[in-house]
A and B are shown apart, each in its own frame.
Chain A
Amino acid sequence: MTGLAQLTRHRLFWPIVALVVLLLASTLKSHSFLEVTVRDGHLYGAPIDILRRSSILLLVALGMTLVIATRGIDLSVGAVMAIAGAVTLTQIASSPDPGAVSTVAVAMLTGLAVCLVIGVFNGFLVAVLGIQPIIATLVIMTAGRGIAMLITGGQITTVTSAPYKTLASGFWLGLPVAALIAGVFFAVVALVTRRTALGVLIESVGINPTASRLAGVRARTIIWTVYVLCALFACIAGFLQSSNIMAADSNNAGLFIELDAILAVVIGGTSLAGGKFSLTGTLVGVLVITTLTLSITVIGIPVNAVSLFKALVVIVVCLLQSPVVQHKLRARRRQAAPVPVEVPA
């Protein structure tokens, strides 16, 4: 009983419940939903699909988590994805040998370089000029898609290149390459933030920038760094996205992904007010959102009700997670005296 109570009190309990409910609902509708079979020598099935699809959002949310931890926000991620796809695919398309690994590698490096510049630019506006993050990144959010379209000439650039296609559609050891890529980045970020002091310094800057600066923390450098990282992760997400459809669609690549990413971060328990962040939480948040989109199709929610359904899920998860409801549930279970509302001194 106390074990269960402990469990329900965990921050990620309700998001995980939501995940399970969505999976169950989908299975009820389509009985083979949770089945994973081997097809063409790799795993196939909805769970694998969810993993593969999560990769893009996970990469974006990963960077977003770090940015949010410093009290910032990055609205430009979608545009950065578009630019990454545009730069890379235009280069691959114009090369004489689009199928060569070297072509793809060079093109991707160029994409990374361009996104790096954008990240540096965002970081400069926020950390050095002190422009509010939301407005600083709005600049690239607006102009970025224009830049991407400029690169592709306003067209959707389609390519055929086997190595590039592998990024999103390939399998390695039976698992989707995209999921592996995202997984590796996730692990690296988790390791770096928790094994070095980066994590705690990011949190410290997010909680109290003035005090951190006085404590000698390089607040400016740290903030700058997280925007660069965020752009780089978005860039890789852009690779995966463009590889997924084998086309650079500057207008639609990563459209509104910033909202999904922020939602994932917050469902995962990281506060938009900065400070403590949880990468595991972000992972759970990403899985919830990806599953939600897939199950909308599988369950067969009518087109006009999709938004309502999304609203419902978000509201229910957040309500259940909220301190007040948690407290009510606990009190009900234990029939105990009210616990004081915690107010920091």
Chain B
Amino acid sequence: MTIETKRLNDVVIRFAGDSGDGIQLIGTEFTNATALLQNDLGTFPDFPAEIRAPAGTLAGVSGYQIHFGSHEIHTPGDDCDTLVVMNAAGLKKNVEFLKKGGIIIANEDGFDNKNLRLANIDENDNPLKNGSLDGFSVFTAPITKLTREGIKDFGLGTKETDRSRNMFVLGLISWLYNRPLESSIDFINKKFSKDRTIAEANIKALHIGYSFGETAEMFAERYEILAAPMKPGHYRGITGNQAASLGLVAASQKAGLQLFYGTYPITPASDILHELARHKNFGVITFQAEDEIAAISSTIGASYGGSLGVTASSGPGIDLKSEAMGLAIMLELPLVVINVQRAGPSTGMPTKTEQSDLLLAYFGRHGEAPMPIVAANSPADCFDTIYEACKIAVEFMTPIFFLSDAYLANGAEPWRFPEAKDLDSITPQYAKVDGTATQKYQPYLRDNRLVRQWALPGIKGLENRIGGLEKEDITGNISYDSKNHEKMVRIRAQKVENIAQSLPDLSFDAGAESGKLLILGWGSTYGTIKTACQELKKEGIEVSHAHLRWLNPFPKNLAKILSSFDKVLIPENNTGQLQLLIKGKYMVDAVGLNKIQGQPFTVSEISNKVKELLA
């Protein structure tokens, strides 16, 4: 039998199995190999609940989806072309995401009676045998047995042996989609650098998986996906949390500031801590505080002392930071507050994505306490957006919100990374001592943008006292004067508004500058909306798409853009938070498309809504 190689434009593969099966690792390594082949790609890791369920159960299923192609890719894909499952639970939970006629590759050893039982499937109703998968191309193999057999010479225990199953799968799927094994081998060598036996065994498993594809005479065709025509440049793959971490280090370096990262662990923000803690050689201080209140408070202390202060959390932890954010607003110190949003309310669904904290970012503090807000729109964009957040925080002496979400945080995409020397400059607004001054230092004197200065402790002549009580204009002394209070409330608000002056106009990601329908998005819906617009265009439906990075202040030209369309559609993973703001601030009767399922939109959900609105 000759195996044909078929060329595809794009493919969506979903891996699923038990949390203990190393699914995320298969996904990440397959992604790396794919990135090196210069396909464009998007990924979506879909973790199980925060705690480990017993192996084999539905609750324990871990998934990873990758979408890659020879053209631009902006999402991890809606339904998948190929589903790779390690056990019965993985199949049961994920078969709904497989396209009609799609491929299933299943580890038949994961469908024994025990596994069926754990997945709540009747023993006599094995889906691999009962015909329920008839519409799909199903390929099964005893992957556990094959792996055990293949690496038995290394003398590993069963546990260690079975852990290599994922490398078998990675090898097999690499074969099927024509990916080279080099990067995976590199990875294995690094990961097991301390135990050569395990390293060799894993590499062996990888190879036998690959060969199995070649020799097993199961597959009639292999697939090939050419490199995508991407902008020239240097690329790497990156997740949102990694990109945010690098953006912080970069900003601190370019600003000449020590980075102080005060936080308390929480899903899905913790990985930024883990990443930053590895970069101590950049002088980065990561402070794992006793709670979120101490996290932000210590960060304010560091900002006061002249560090680039950054604090991060998700939902519940952001609630706890609100009081201290108010203090930072009064103190007018640089402070970046990262919120990697997850599905709420309360503990909610900690590993699932949602965009439901926009209004919290706007209004989640007592009193009139406006804060600038930016949101990243893709994993790699986390770098640029947080870099900009740092720049504005430092140059406008203000706390600022950076919004990401679980989908961006864990998703990966190719990143055309910049060179350090090309990054924007960041200029701290230091107070200087005027050698001739006879007056004492005035901590609340402002420049024409209304920005006050950063008076670092240690500098003679700048001694001053600041605090959370209302302060007198210019002097910063405590003031209970009525008129002064109103003045200060308005100054603080105007300072945030003034940021808009230094920002570029909002531009269009698709479509004309006026027309029937504008899709206005923010945050992680970017790729899906963009793809929907492209697909609609193919169908001859022309819509415009503009995507907000700046949520507060809104871009200067937003009002004009909004008024240039008959209809405005705002898709959000919440009940309509941006929609309320747009309606309330611009009196534009925007339509919402809302999905609150802990899952991102699919492309078709967007395009169907567009068609409905244009019908």
A and B interact physically? no
Q: Which A residues contact B (CB, under 8 angstroms)?
A: none
Binding site for A on B (CB under 8 A): none
